[in-house]
């Protein structure tokens, strides 16, 4: 991550806060205010009570995520698919000696994000674990609540690979060894976001993104190696048959998840590289939602392109549980096929699906809605699928049912709906005009 932060500084995308900030609420408040105006990263040099600086919004920009994977036209999904097609089956790893110092969990910055959060949380932590039987590594995000220097409580969603890994270990009454990576290089971060088939190797995805072997250093107390340049590594094990209260926590949808019994992570060591930077991530902010969007959208894109013609791009807004699909319509009812396929492509995030022509910006819901209301009837172009389960955490079935919106032009009347344009408008750079 250090090299990436240097490149952001050179590009003017790293903004520095020198005055002291309180890690309890103030750091999150300043970050959230900053994110409303800027998609750069923000570095807090002076965090009260902390021995290291804190950086946030490192990955909170679609523009930057697209640049990282070589998609300068901002079409993330097709570029991601091309990269994945070239990913090796197993990662090419280079073992390097460990050269890290031990710190205590309580030496790390202790950000508290939202008013009713149970306490400080690690929110950017990527869990690295090997499957107890096959050894295939997985990388995934899981929030972790600080309890004391020896214990974190972590939330593992039902659908994640790590859940299966933990269940396999638990069935043998064994703990699952894991390392929580805080402050990783972009390729590790993006690989952790990715939802790839369960038996696939997420370090191989990182390898493909890095374009060369990954440097891995042995952990000190667990049988794992972690990416050598990770700023902070929390080593430990997820205990079998042990659940303790975790939460409440202000999560991505904009509400608090209540206290629930969740997994216990026993901390066996915390190590840091030289001059570490702690990565704080505000849940539900662009740094959470944009990476999650790319992960969900690329999974749905892969599913749709394997089944239907004319799929150009997919955008997802996880907070809205919405999927927008840009197509080149090929036949009557094509948009409806796309909706039904999108509903089946992701059980959690496709509560609504909107399908547009290629002249619509699917990342701008105003534009998508404009296309829907100006290009045809509301009644015959919406599709309600009743009584289908949706987002997984839903005790009262609030997320049941699906809504599809066909925002494409009526077939055979496309010319009537040509978007007006000003010749040369797309080439205007206002800096040339506002002297
Ligand atoms: C920035 C970020 C934070 C996330 N935080 C959590 C979390 O706290 N708990 C959770 O269950 N999922 C969380 N997710 C979702 C998944 O963990 C994530 O997409 C996962 O890495 C996909 O791995 P999988 O292939 O095992 O599903 C988060 C995703 C992102 C992008």
Domain layout of the chain by residue ranges = 2-286, 307-413
The average pLDDT across 106-119 equals: 97
Give the DSSP per-residue string, 124-177: S-EEEEE-TTT--EEEEE--EEEEETTEEEE---TTSHHHHHHHHHHHTT--EE
Give me the mean pLDDT over the 260-286 stretch: 97
Distance 123 CA to ligand 1 centre (A): 10
Residues 336-353: b if buried by 16+ CB within 10 A, e if exposed = ebbbebbbebbebbbbbb
> How many angstroms separate the CA atoms of 53 and 27, rounded?
12
| 287 closest CA partner among 314, 247, 252 | 252
What is the C-alpha to C-alpha distance for residues 252 and 284, in angstroms, rounded to an integer? 4
User: Which residue's C-alpha comes closest to atom 21 of ligand 1?
Assistant: 140
Q: Which residue's structure tokens are 């710190």?
A: 103
Determine the Cα–Cα distance for residues 393 and 311; give it in Å rounded to an integer: 30
Q: 245, 253 in Cβ contact below 8 A?
A: no
Residue nearest to atom 16 of ligand 1 (CA): 141
Q: How far is the CA of 142 from the centre of ligand 1 (A)?
A: 6
Name the closest-CA residue to atom 23, ligand 1.
Answer: 140
> The tokens of 165 are what?
């890994």
Residues whose CB is less than 8 angstroms from the CB of residue 318 and which lie 6 or more positions away in sequence, other chains included: 252, 289, 292, 293, 296, 349
Would you say residue 195 has pLDDT above 90? no
Check residue 392 and give its pLDDT.
83
Of the candidates 301, 1, 259, the one whose C-alpha atom is nearest the C-alpha of residue 126 is 1
Summarised one tens digit per residue, pLDDT across range 212-228 is 899 999 999 999 999 99
- Cis check for the bond before 248: say yes or no (omega within 30 of 0): yes
Cα–Cα distance for residue pair 259/404, rounded to 1 Å: 34
- The finding on whether 295 has its CB within 6 A of some atom of ligand 1 is yes
Determine phi and psi for 301, rounding to 5 degrees. Answer: -60, -45
Q: Which atom of ligand 1 is nearest to the CA of 157?
A: 11
137-141 vs 54-56, strand pairing mode? unpaired
Q: Where are the beta strands (DSSP E) in 275-432?
A: 278-279, 311-317, 322-327, 352-356, 382-385, 402-406
The verdict on the CB of residue 142 being under 6 Å from ligand 1 is: yes
Q: Which residue has the tokens 């009644």?
A: 379
The token pair at 114 is: 């939202």
- The answer on pLDDT for 159 being more than 90 is no
Q: Is the dihedral of CA 380, 385, 391, 396 positive or negative?
A: positive
- Whether 351 is in the pocket of ligand 1, judged by its Cβ within 6 Å, is no
For 389-433, the pLDDT digits (tens) are: 998 888 899 999 999 999 999 999 999 999 999 999 999 999 999
Quote the CA–CA distance of 227 and 185 in Å, as a whole number.
Answer: 9
Is it true that domain 2-286 has CATH number 3.10.450.40?
no
Q: Is 161 in the pocket of ligand 1 (CB under 6 A)?
A: yes
**What does pLDDT average to over the chain?**
95
- 237 CB less than 6 Å from ligand 1? no
Which residue is listed with tokens 């494409």?
408
Indicate the class that CATH gives domain 307-413.
Answer: alpha beta
337: which strand partners? Answer: none
For residue 86, name the pLDDT band (cuts at 50, 70, 90). Answer: confident
Question: Phi and psi dihedrals of 267, rounded to 5?
Answer: -85, 125
Query: Within 19-129, where are the H helices?
Result: 26-37, 62-68, 76-85
Residue 331 to residues 354, 372, 411, Cα–Cα distance (Å): 17, 18, 8
Atom of ligand 1 nearest to the CA of 281: 1
Q: Which has the closest alpha carbon to 177: 103, 269, 109?
A: 269
Residue 21 in contact with ligand 1 by CB distance below 6 A: no
CB 238 within 8 A of CB 264: yes
Q: Is the CB of 126 under 6 A from ligand 1?
A: no
- Radius of gyration of the chain measured on its C-alpha atoms: 23
- DSSP assignment of 104-137: -GGGS---B-STT-SS-EE-S-EEEEE-TTT--E
Q: Is 291 near ligand 1, meaning CB less than 6 Å away?
A: yes
Residue whose Cα lies nearest atom 3 of ligand 1: it is 141
Which pair of tokens denotes residue 407?
């925002």
Question: Ligand 1 centroid to 360 CA: how many Å?
Answer: 29
What number is the average pLDDT over the span 3-17? 97
What SS3 class is residue 156? coil
Mean pLDDT for the stretch of residues 182-209: 92
Supply the pLDDT for residue 198: 79
Q: Give the closest residue (by CA) to ligand 1 atom 7.
A: 142
Q: What pLDDT was estimated at residue 21?
A: 98
- The pLDDT score that the predictor gives to residue 424 is 96
Parallel, antiparallel or unpaired: strands 382-385 and 93-95 = unpaired
Per-residue pLDDT band for 12 (boundaries 50, 70, 90) equals very high
């Amino acid at each position: 991550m250090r090299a990436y932060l240097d490149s952001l500084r050179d590009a003017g995308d790293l903004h520095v806060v020198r005055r002291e900030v309180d890690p309890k609420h103030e750091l999150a408040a300043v970050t959230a205010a900053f994110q409303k105006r800027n998609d750069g990263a923000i570095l807090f040099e002076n965090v009260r009570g902390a021995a290291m600086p804190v950086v946030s919004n490192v990955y909170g920009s679609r523009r930057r995520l697209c640049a990282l994977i070589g998609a300068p036209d901002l079409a993330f999904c097709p570029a991601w698919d091309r990269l994945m097609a070239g990913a090796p089956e197993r990662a090419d790893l280079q073992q390097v000696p460990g050269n890290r110092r031990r710190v205590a969990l309580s030496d790390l910055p202790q950000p508290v994000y939202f008013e009713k959060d149970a306490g400080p949380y690690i929110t950017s932590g990527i869990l690295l674990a090997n499957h107890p039987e096959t050894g295939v590594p997985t990388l995934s995000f899981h929030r972790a609540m600080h309890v004391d220097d020896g214990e974190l409580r972590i939330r593992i969603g039902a659908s994640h690979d790590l859940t299966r890994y933990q269940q396999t270990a638990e069935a043998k009454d064994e703990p699952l060894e894991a390392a929580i990576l805080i402050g990783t290089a972009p390729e590790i971060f993006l690989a952790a976001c990715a939802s790839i088939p369960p038996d696939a190797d997420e370090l191989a995805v990182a390898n493909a993104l890095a374009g060369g072997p990954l440097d891995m250093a042995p952990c000190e107390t667990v049988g794992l190696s972690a990416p050598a340049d990770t700023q902070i590594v929390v080593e430990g094990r997820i205990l079998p048959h042990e659940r303790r209260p975790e939460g409440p926590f202000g999560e991505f949808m904009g509400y608090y998840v209540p206290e629930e019994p969740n997994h216990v992570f026993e901390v066996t060591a915390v190590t840091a590289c030289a001059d570490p930077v702690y990565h704080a991530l505000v849940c539900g902010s662009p740094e959470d939602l944009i990476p999650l969007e790319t992960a969900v959208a690329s999974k749905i894109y892969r599913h749709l392109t394997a089944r239907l013609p004319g799929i150009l791009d997919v955008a997802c807004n996880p907070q809205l549980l919405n999927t927008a699909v840009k197509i080149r319509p090929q036949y009557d009812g094509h948009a409806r096929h796309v909706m039904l396929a999108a509903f089946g492509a992701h059980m959690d995030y496709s509560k609504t699906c909107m399908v547009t022509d290629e002249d619509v910006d699917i990342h701008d819901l105003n534009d998508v809605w404009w296309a829907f209301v100006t290009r045809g009837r509301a009644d015959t172009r919406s599709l309600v699928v009743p009584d289908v389960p949706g987002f997984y955490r839903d005790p009262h079935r609030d997320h049941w049912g699906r809504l599809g919106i066909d925002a494409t032009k009526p077939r055979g009347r496309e010319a009537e709906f040509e978007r007006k344009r000003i010749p040369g408008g797309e080439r205007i750079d206002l800096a040339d005009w506002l002297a």
